[in-house]
Amino acid sequence: MNYTKSRIDAKGILLRIEVLENELYHLQQVQGISKDSLALRYNEILRLREQYNTLHSKARLEDLRVFQTTQKVIRKSGVKQYLQWQAAWRVNGKTKTVYLGRVSKLSESEATRIARNLKAKSLGLEESLPTTKPVIYKQKVPTLQKIELTNMVLPKKPEIGRGIVGEEAT
């Protein structure tokens, strides 16, 4: 279990719910307490439980690990290594590891987004997925440059004749 912001917030809300439930129990024992004050506490507990459930499902999605591994491919021409993204999370006490794609084709943020989508599908939480667009990197297009050769002077090559050495060509 990772300590993400959602998990820490959910734990704080859960502690607040326990305190309010304890107060509600003791207020019910006191005679002469109005039903409105009890209902107010009860509604606050229900609101916090709903908020806890939302944060808890979000924390379950964030509780995964994305990492790089190396894949070795052995061929006649030699051994080649490829870096790939993988994700891991716990399901019923067992670690589930999933291949996400090659490092050359995916950024880390894109790999994390894909991993969260896959985990949400496996947990049945598709409705709580963030609707973010993937990061698309534009390939650089080479620009054409005009080069003028008028100012360039090429050095003159020495003339090599077919005559006898020491004899000048006329």
Going by C-alpha positions, the residue among 144, 82, 83, 86 that lies closest to residue 114 is 86
Q: What is the topology classification, in CATH, of domain 65-128?
A: Double Stranded RNA Binding Domain (3.30.160)
Whole-Å CA distances, 21 to 28, 33, 43, 105, 113: 11, 16, 11, 51, 37
**10-59: pLDDT as tens digits:** 999 999 999 999 988 888 888 888 888 888 889 999 999 999 998 888 88
Closest CA to 7 of 69, 64, 87: 64
Domain ranges of the chain: 5-62, 65-128
Q: Average per-residue pLDDT in the chain?
A: 81
**pLDDT at position 154:** 61
Task: State pTM to two decimals.
Answer: 0.54
> Does the pLDDT value for residue 86 go beyond 60?
yes
48, 60, 49, 44: which is closest to 7 by C-alpha?
60
